[in-house]
Amino acid sequence: MFNMFLLCVLLGVCCRDFSISLPQTIEALSGSCVIIKCTFEIREIFDTDLTERARGLWFKDRDTMNDLLVFHSTDPKPDHFNGKITGKLHEKNCTTIFYNITSNHNGNFYFRIEGNGGLKWSYDKTISIGALPPNPQCSCISVSLRCSAETLCSSPPPTLTWSSTPRIPLSESSRLEELISDLNFTATHRQHRVTFTCTITYQLQDENKTAQDSITLHVQYSPKNTSVSVLPSSSVLEGSSVTLICRSDANPAVNYTWSRESEGQMEQLQTGDTLTFDRIDLKHRGWYHCTAQNQHGTQNSSVMLDHSRSFSLIDAPQISTSSCSARTDVTVCFCEADGNPSPELEWHLSGRPVTNSSNTFISEERLSSTGLRSSITLHQSLTHTSTLQCVGNNTHGNDEQLFHLVFITQKAPCKF
């Protein structure tokens, strides 16, 4: 076991090699500065060469023919970039800052370390610097939105603003290299799918430059504004198709369940956002309930299918009740009809329409929005060889009841 431990230690020493840690790309702001965070590693045999007198060099747009030196930590030139290494090279920290960024800084850069003795090494890894304002970064933390951005050494420091209602409180903080703005609020269904945009503004000498980032909220909430509608919304003919549609605002999406209330009992029907009757008739009258449910709660909505509410059943007249009675000198008959729209009732004697006269009297009584009752009183002289008809009419059809009247000298019921 002791031998294995020594082997691991020796392998660790022997495997240490030249390496560098650099960002892959850096977005910079023209007229401001850029910070390149940089650390490196060297082979163990050169540790004694890495002293406080070590030098850091930056080259730009490296190719096989030329090495364009743009920065030397101990021997700056007029054509070099204005900057400095803020890290301590003898601690393997090569973090560098370049000032007064212009379009000349666009390109790929690589780093070289030079120390005492034989330590001279150029690292293969390069970074790309672009002279554009970096976008701020939006993130969601619990019920807060956070916008953060690099300060970029600019003076005065940049500002962060939100495209949101001013009633939402803001809190801001800044660090040496980062500016942070938090947007705090209680998330409700009103913020679902709302996009918040954070804008950073850098104030330069000759102009202001801005960059933006946006975040869209996805808020989960229980069903809201559940409602049932009827198609077609106008009156429909008996025997045609009618569809009930349930809608609800919720996230995540809801499951719909239909039920019908009958004699105080709830009858479960089916699931889904629609309930369709292929052939509607009077037996479908009643209260229909839609329940919208997701993992956060439920909400109900109902509709009444009958003649008088939002749903109107169209049907041709039906004569439901009729009778006739005879007295000494008159015969009295009546009939009742139901339909939608409400029917009209007419009386025909021997095939001819009857109106009020000295020998006849007709009266009507409205039973409901769809029902009508009519009665007729006939003098006995008209009934000895006559047929009497009660005829119900509306725009969708008609129905009739026939009475055979027989002359009588004593009170007796008529035949029909």
Question: Residues 41, 18: contact at Cβ < 8 Å?
Answer: yes
Amino acid at 173: S
Closest C-alpha to 389, from 399, 400, 381, 378: 400
pLDDT by residue, tens only, the chain of 416 residues: 334 333 434 444 456 899 999 988 887 777 778 888 899 999 999 999 999 999 999 998 766 556 789 999 999 888 899 999 999 999 999 999 888 888 788 888 999 999 988 899 999 888 887 766 666 766 655 567 888 877 766 667 788 888 865 455 555 655 556 788 887 777 777 778 888 888 888 877 777 888 888 888 888 888 888 888 888 765 666 677 888 999 998 989 999 999 988 766 778 889 999 999 888 777 787 788 899 999 988 888 888 776 443 344 556 778 877 788 777 678 888 888 887 778 889 988 888 888 888 788 899 888 877 788 899 888 877 666 578 888 988 887 888 888 777 654 444 444 44
pLDDT of residue 333: 87
- Give Cα 79 to chain centroid, integer Å: 57
Bridge partners (DSSP) listed for residue 371 = 338
State the pTM of this model.
Answer: 0.44
Domains and CATH numbers, the chain: 14-130 (2.60.40.10), 137-216 (2.60.40.10), 221-305 (2.60.40.10), 315-404 (2.60.40.10)
Beta strands in 175-285 (DSSP E): 178-184, 195-203, 208-216, 221-231, 236-237, 242-251, 255-262, 265-271, 274-277
pLDDT of residue 324: 81
Question: Residues 331, 405: contact at Cβ < 8 Å?
Answer: yes
